[in-house]
Each structure stands twice: as structure tokens, then as C-alpha cells.
Structure 1
Amino acid sequence: MRRSATGTVRRPRSLSAVAVLAAAGLLLTGCTAAGKAGEDGAGSGGDAGNGTVKVGLVYSRTGLLADYGKQYRDGFMAGLDYATKGTGKVAGHRIEVTEQDDAGDPGKAVSAAKNLIGKGYKVLAGTTDSGVALQMAPLAAQNKVLYISGPAATDAVTGINGYTFRSGRQSYQDILTAGAMLGDAKGKKVTVLAQDSTFGQANVAAVKAVLGGRGATVGSVLAPPSATDLTPFARQVKAGGPDLVFVAWAGSTAPALWTALDQQGVPAASKVVTGLAGAASYPVFGDAGAKVSFLAHYFPGAGGGNAVEKAMLDAVGKAGGTPDLFTPDGFTAAQMVVRAVEKGGSGDTGAMVKALEDWTFDGVKGKVRVRAEDHALLQPMFVAKLDGTGSGAKPQLVTTEPMDTVAPPAKPAAG
């Protein structure tokens, strides 16, 4: 974000309608977990007298995203320990975390955030649900508090206001990773296979915007959400002869879909790409898993065993957790909080924002950068394959796409 001469934070223009639609849930958005969840936290958010900075962690401890929530929270606590070198302090300030459960409900999240802000909290983090993030961000701007969103993937969070940052990837980065597997898109044929639902249509719109904008011809095969016999749709995809099949599928019929695609020889005829979600999803692909290319935000080992990744894996394991898809998002959020407190102290939100803008640092995934113009988190993305089937399926890294290669378009600052 750019500042005016008075030092106020300038808000970028809102995202285009297409960007807002981009591949919601392509990697199946995640969550955060418990600890002191539900504690209200006494006192103000920052006290220069006692050197304490209170951070509100608002996330889904319960609800549909609770499993992902645990990953985020485990990562946050590991990241806080790492970034403060085990002291819980930075620049003379002790960081105290208060956890609140939003249960994936925007209303509960806003209520919890207002409660924390009313107590003087200047830093909020969390959020894996896109709907929650889009309610939290305006609240941060209205009250001039730092808000670091978690795995919520909607592109609309990027550039939404000058006080909102993100610690995870966004949907546009997912699509660009898929595009990297296609190579030069000009003249190529891409088919999006999805359900005929808001989710499916959003993915079609996103792929058309990104890959179509690069010269590919993008079509779609949409199945009714109620369909259980998916063989006809697999046949339709194969008959179209696409260079790339982009699969965006959610729900209990996923195993049947992958069986149908494999039986009809689609992976043998075209490059098939889909998002790699958490470890619990690996068995869903069956025999097709070894024939599919996966765009991946993260899986353990994707970072190549760099020092930061090793620290996260070790810390989460020792605490009894299991690192997974969204553990790095929590770890990165903690790194950002510590950086903000180090430079901004207990309550100077403007200094905190400035400290994060254009900050490049070593993260779990490798080198990452907070883009000043719109607070996008530029980061590497991964291409993976699955070895094995069923409970024995494990992801293996194929290639790493550099952060600049998969960077979403920058949003210009408002005048």
C-alpha cells in the first residue's frame, strides 16, 4: 500500500468480478485450531508500561473447517516460538495470544473481533473461510487494526484495504500454477470438468480469465451435482481432445469421478490437473492418482527441507500435531506478527503496516515477499504427483514454481 503525505494508508481499487470468482476452494480452504480458544482476554491490546502486545487469533476451532483450523493454529504457535527464538518476546514486548472460535460463521467472527478491538487489541489473525475473511477485513480498516488473514483463498482479500494482509496463497496463484503445467497457452485447448454449481462455475470463470487471457481456448463439461454415474462426462471430456483437463470437484462423488476418468483413459489422452488438498484426501484419487498432475500450495517436504520448514515440522511434531496443507499459513502469520510488533511496538498500527510492506523473508515454502501495492503474499507454488494408492498414497515434489512466476496481477493504489 502507498501512503499519502499525511501518512494515511491508501486503499487500492476493488478486484474485478472475475477475480472475485477465482477458483473458490480449489484446494479446499482450511482452518485453525484450539489452545486458549474462547478466552476473552483481559486488559488492553498493547501496554507500553508492561511491554505486552495482545494478539487476537480468530479462527474455526469448531465447525466444518475445524481440522484445517488445527493445522493453522499448530503452525501459528510453532511460528511464534521460532520467530521469537523461544522467548515469546520481541524488541522488549511480550506477545500474548488470545484465541476465539468463529466456527466458520462470519457473524461469530465479527462479534469476537469487535470484542477484542473494544479491549484495545491492535493485531488480529486467523481466518481460513473466505466468507469470514471478507467480513473481517472491513472491520480492520474501520478500526485501524492490523489484520492478517489465514488460508482464506478468495482473491478479493488481496488489496481490499490498507490494514489487511494474508499469510496464505490465493486462488489466482492456484490457476497460474496449473497454467505453468500447460506451458505456452496460446492455441491450446483447456477443458474444465466440474459440477454445475456456483463452485464449478466460479472455477470455469477463473480458468477462462487466467488461461483464456493467455491465448488458450477454454471450454467446460459440467455435471449435475446430483449425478452419480459420471462415465458419460468422462467420455465427453475425452472426446473433446483437450491439451489440459482442469478438474474442480467437491463432495462425496469424487472417488467415482476419478474412477470414471481413469477407466475412460482420460489421464492417458490429456494432461489432467487438479488441486492437492490435505492428506485425508489422498486416497480419494485411487488408481488415477499416479496419473494426475497436482498443483499444490504445500505438503510436508515441499519446501525442500529448508531451515524454516524443518523448524516447523519439528516443532509441530513435538507438540503432538501433524503438519499438513495449512500449517505453513499459521507459521507465516506468526512471523508477520513478530515483524510487525518488532517495528511497530504495542500500538502503532501504521508502523506495523509499513514494516510488512515489501518485506522479503525466509518462510516454510522458501523465500516469500509481501507486495506493498496490495499486500499479496508472493510465494512459491508446487507441482506434485502421488505415489501409491489408498492410505499409502504420498505426494512427491515434481517442480517448484518461483513466486514471481505465479504472482497475481498487482492492484494499483487508489488515487
Structure 2
Amino acid sequence: MRDGLTTRREALAVLGSAGIVGMAGCTGGDGNETATPGSTDDSDDSDMTDTTTSGDGGASGTVKIGVLQPTSGDLQYYGQQALWGFFSGFAYKNGGDPITDTTSGTRTVTVGDVDYELYVRDSAFSADTSQQLATDLVQNEEVDMLFGCASSGAATRVIDTVVSQAGVPYMAGPAASADITSNSETCNDLVFRASENTAMDARSGGKYVAQETDVSSVYLFGADYSFGRAVVNNYEAVLENEGVEIVGKKFVPQGYTEWDGLLQNATDAGAEGIVGGFTVATLPALFTSYLNGDYDYRVFGGFATEITTSIVGQTLQKVLGTPLTEEKIQEQKFGPFTTRYHWNQYDNEINNAFVESYANAYGKWPDLFSAGTFTAASAIVQAVEAGGSTEGADIAAELRGMTVTDTPKGENGYTFQGYNNQARSAMTVADPIPTTDEAGENWGAAIMPSEPVARIGKDGTTIPADSDEMDCSL
């Protein structure tokens, strides 16, 4: 047994005694798949002894990664998209085709002389389930590190109850609450995130709206949980710093539908723009009310994933008629929107290869979460190769301050900040436009992001170390 694993078992024993690791039926089935070339199919979960080399930057042996993503339920596309990006990152590093099976099970990908055993588990977008699965993966599968969680609440729970107690490195993502890497409660020298966050949305999109549009007053709406509050708080800080007046803010439950009165409140408050910090559970109802109403303010924020964008596109078609045109959309003061990543926002050799491979494997274009999770895999491989070790602690040491070479945003496109382990990367701003015939093959929505109207370099997208919003110092 590898050094430190007994300690992890002991550290989590109190959770096990409370019933957290009663995992019958929760750890997934067989579902093994091999990625080629240079990959093996290995469903044997027995203890393995890593062999490492040092001094020349090479490594050999096995890295066991516990992977937590929602692959069932209403938000399974979030998990599928995150996994597709993650699998594509490994495929790019070994020159093969990405894994296509996202069901629970064990997959093995080989890069060089290192086997990456990926223990995929369905987190069901639940904090309780994520905690249970993470505990099982650390205690019983003896993983070297954890990756995942699309839910910010789930990611926070895993950090609080597993990562901090067991001392196992964790690559969060695509969970986007800025607090994960800016709040002292969750900031941790073992917690990393390549995926973009809500502060990056605000610091790019908010500045663009303040500096490039005529909006001078904004009403902020957000879901009443960690993600929504993070969106509102970050936009509030950025917009006020840019001289934009915040005329009101309101938090509502996820899935809220009674928007007419709240949107009228924004009008009555004198808002020239509104921001909505919501997921697919709430955004369609908000946009439906906005588009069917008579509101003279601009809607801006972050460009959503395909599942939300498809519903918004359907609503635009119902309200504005078909065919949609850019002029019709612009007349609604709909956008511009920040995009963390979409397939058509970056033109470089890595992204071009990624887009082609991803589309061939999954029949979709890479979406909002894809670049961040691709980069997570790329960074892990780079850390193993650079440190010459497959041990979790050594991987974490290499990740700190790393500039990731192979990313969809270009070579050296992401850098993990030394003060909070959040990767900074460029962001773009795009207008919503009718989906082109070419994009329509792999994009199931009536609207899509335009070519970038602005690009914000990675040095200007994240919360600075000396900001009042940064309560983290590693």
C-alpha cells in the first residue's frame, strides 16, 4: 500500500462511522473502456504500487483519479460535457481518440509510461452524493487525486469533508463559484481549478459593458445559492468599480418562474441593464418573460451551454419569428455575453485539433466547460511528466504556479496562480447570432456566439491577490 493511504482511511473513519461510506449501488458498474493508442483496459481495483523515476522529468507507473460528474438527471449534459473535455485532454496528450463512454466505471488512458486510471462516478448534481462518492474513492479505491463536480455546492462539500481531512489533491471543475478559490473556508493548497469561474465572467463581461456600452445602471438577479450569489457579488464589485450604479439586487430560488413583477421592479428602479446569475433551471423562464414583455433595458452576463441556449433560441423564434436575424436579436438589447469558452472563440492549432477530435467523438462542438476540463487533464499529465512522480502530493506540488502548455486557448493559455491555485486564462465577449448552417451540424440551438467582439487577456480576468474580494493566501 502506498504511503499516506492508511492516514487517509483514518482521517475519514469518522465519516464512515456516520454512514457516509455505505456505498452499495453507488460506486458504479463495470463500464470499462479503453482509449487508444497506448491505453489499456483495466477494471482491477486492487492496490497497485506506483513506480517512479526522478531527475529527468519522466515518470512511470499509475495515477488513480476519482472523477465526479453528473451523468444522469436533468443536468447530465453538464457532466457529459465536462467529461468529454477531460477525456479529450488526455487524448490530445497521447495522440489518440477520446473515451466516449460517460457511464460510471473505470477507464485507463496511457500517456507515455504512465497509466491514468479514471474512476468515473455519477455525482447526480448532489452535494450529499458527491461527498459519499469522494469518501469511497479515497477510502476504498485509494485514489491519488480527485477531479470534478459541476455543482459549486458539491465541490464545496467535497473540499470541506474529504479533501481537507484526507489530504488528497482535488482539481475542481466545472463548478464555477469564485468562492471555491477565493474564500478562506475552501481555499486550500491542495485545491486547484483550471475551469473558469464567475469572477472571470464578471471581470471580463462587466468591464466590457461598462466601458463599451451606454449602460450606466444595473439590476442584479441571482439564484439563492453559492453560484448565484457569486455571480451577483462579482458583478456588483466590478460594475461599481467601473462607475456603474447598482440600482437593486434580488435572489430567488432555483427554478423560479414568476418574473414579470421582478422585471418590472428593475424598470421602476431605473435599470439600463440586468444580469441573471442562473443555470438552465431558471434562465429560460427569465428570458421568456423578458422577451415577451416591454422592457427597455439590456440583458447581459455569461453565454450559457447548449441546453440553455437551445431553450433561449426557441423563445427568440417564438417571439421574434423565423428566420431569426442578427438585427432582430440586436433590437431586443440581448447581449453581449461573456464566454468562458466556445468552439469558435479561439483560432490556434491546439483548439483546431481539439474541436475536430471532440466533434468526431461526440457529435457536438466543444461547449462552455470544455476548455477548462481539457486543461485540467493536460495539466495533470504535464505535472506528472515534469515532476517525474505519480504520487498525488508531488503532482500537486508541480501544479502550483504551473503554466499549462497544451490548452484550447492556445499554447501556455492557462496559468495556476500561486496565491489561490485558480488558473487564469483569456476570456471573450460575443454577441448572440443565428446559428449558421455549418455550426448547426453539431449545435442544437437556434442561436450561437458570434466571433469575438472583444478579448480580455488572462492577466485581466481573475481576482488579484491584493483585492478585497480575495480572502485566500497559500
Q: TM-score range by the shorter chain?
A: 0.7 to 0.9
Distance in 2, Cα, partners of 1:274 & 1:100? 31
Instruction: Calculate percent identity across the aligned residue pairs.
Output: 26
Distance in 1, Cα, partners of 2:372 & 2:393? 23
Distance in 1, Cα, partners of 2:200 & 2:89? 23
- Answering whether residue 456 of structure 2 is matched by residue 401 of structure 1, we say yes
Measured after TM superposition, the shift of residue 90 of structure 1 is: 4.1
More moved, 396-405 vs 57-66: 57-66
- Judging changes above 3 Å, is the alpha-carbon distance between structure 1 residues 207 and 91 closer, same or farther for their aligned structure 2 residues? same
Preserved CA contact (<8 Å) 1:55 1:122: yes
Alignment TM-score, normalising by the size of structure 2: 0.69
Give matches, 1:98-247, under 5 Å. 98-118=119-139, 119-138=141-160, 139-158=162-181, 160-184=187-211, 189-194=216-221, 197=224, 203-220=231-248, 222=250, 230-231=259-260, 233-247=262-276
- Judging changes above 3 Å, is the alpha-carbon distance between structure 1 residues 41 and 373 closer, same or farther for their aligned structure 2 residues? farther
Give matches, 1:27-46, under 5 Å. 36=32, 42-44=45-47
Residue number among 372, 384, 387 corresponding to 2:430 in the alignment = 384
Measured after TM superposition, the shift of residue 86 of structure 1 is: 3.2
Distance in 2, Cα, partners of 1:64 & 1:414? 37
- The corresponding residue for 2:101 is none
Give matches, 1:11-90, under 5 Å. 36=32, 42-44=45-47, 47-48=50-51, 51-86=61-96, 88-90=109-111
Give the 3-state SS of the residue equivalent to 1:363 in structure 2: coil
Measured after TM superposition, the shift of residue 336 of structure 1 is: 1.5
Distance in 2, Cα, partners of 1:110 & 1:229? 33
Distance in 2, Cα, partners of 1:207 & 1:190? 12
- The corresponding residue for 1:278 is 305
Higher relative contact order (CA 8 A, sep 6+): 1
- The corresponding residue for 1:4 is none
Give the 3-state SS of the residue equivalent to 2:464 in structure 1: coil
Give the 3-state SS of the residue equivalent to 1:52 in structure 2: strand
1:170-226 C-alpha deviation (Å, 9 max, x unpaired): 1111111222223459x9733225378557666444433332244432122649779
Preserved CA contact (<8 Å) 1:279 1:324: yes
Preserved CA contact (<8 Å) 2:171 2:191: yes
Preserved CA contact (<8 Å) 2:201 2:301: no
Distance in 1, Cα, partners of 2:252 & 2:171? 37
Q: Which amino acid aligns with 2:116?
A: I
Residue number among 288, 294, 303 corresponding to 2:337 in the alignment = 294
Give the 3-state SS of the residue equivalent to 1:378 in structure 2: strand
1:264-318 C-alpha deviation (Å, 9 max, x unpaired): 664xx54431221112222415147443211211222112x32221222122222
Preserved CA contact (<8 Å) 1:149 1:166: yes
Q: Which amino acid aligns with 1:329?
A: G
Distance in 1, Cα, partners of 2:473 & 2:278? 37
Measured after TM superposition, the shift of residue 386 of structure 1 is: 1.4
More moved, 194-203 vs 393-402: 194-203
Query: Size of the alignment, in residue pairs?
Result: 377
Residue number among 365, 372, 375 corresponding to 2:421 in the alignment = 375
Distance in 2, Cα, partners of 1:150 & 1:223? 24
- Judging changes above 3 Å, is the alpha-carbon distance between structure 1 residues 154 and 46 closer, same or farther for their aligned structure 2 residues? farther
Give the 3-state SS of the residue equivalent to 1:387 in structure 2: strand
Measured after TM superposition, the shift of residue 242 of structure 1 is: 3.8
Preserved CA contact (<8 Å) 2:247 2:271: no
Q: Which amino acid aligns with 2:144?
A: K
Preserved CA contact (<8 Å) 2:303 2:339: yes
Preserved CA contact (<8 Å) 2:248 2:269: no
Q: Which amino acid aligns with 1:399?
A: A
- The corresponding residue for 2:16 is none
- Judging changes above 3 Å, is the alpha-carbon distance between structure 1 residues 254 and 183 closer, same or farther for their aligned structure 2 residues? closer
Measured after TM superposition, the shift of residue 240 of structure 1 is: 4.3
Give the 3-state SS of the residue equivalent to 1:211 in structure 2: helix
Preserved CA contact (<8 Å) 1:200 1:222: no
Give the 3-state SS of the residue equivalent to 2:362 in structure 1: coil
Residue number among 337, 351, 358 corresponding to 1:309 in the alignment = 351
Measured after TM superposition, the shift of residue 404 of structure 1 is: 1.3
- Answering whether residue 376 of structure 2 is matched by residue 333 of structure 1, we say yes
- Unaligned segments of structure 2, at least 5 residues: 1-29, 34-41, 53-59, 98-108, 321-327, 436-443
Q: Pairwise CA RMSD of aligned residues?
A: 3.4
Preserved CA contact (<8 Å) 1:373 1:413: yes
Preserved CA contact (<8 Å) 1:45 1:55: no
- Judging changes above 3 Å, is the alpha-carbon distance between structure 1 residues 36 and 105 closer, same or farther for their aligned structure 2 residues? farther
- Judging changes above 3 Å, is the alpha-carbon distance between structure 1 residues 249 and 143 closer, same or farther for their aligned structure 2 residues? closer
Measured after TM superposition, the shift of residue 255 of structure 1 is: 5.1
Give the 3-state SS of the residue equivalent to 1:156 in structure 2: helix
Distance in 2, Cα, partners of 1:40 & 1:135? 28
Distance in 2, Cα, partners of 1:77 & 1:235? 45
Measured after TM superposition, the shift of residue 71 of structure 1 is: 0.7
Alignment TM-score, normalising by the size of structure 1: 0.78
Give matches, 1:1-20, under 5 Å. none
Residue number among 360, 363, 386 corresponding to 1:318 in the alignment = 360
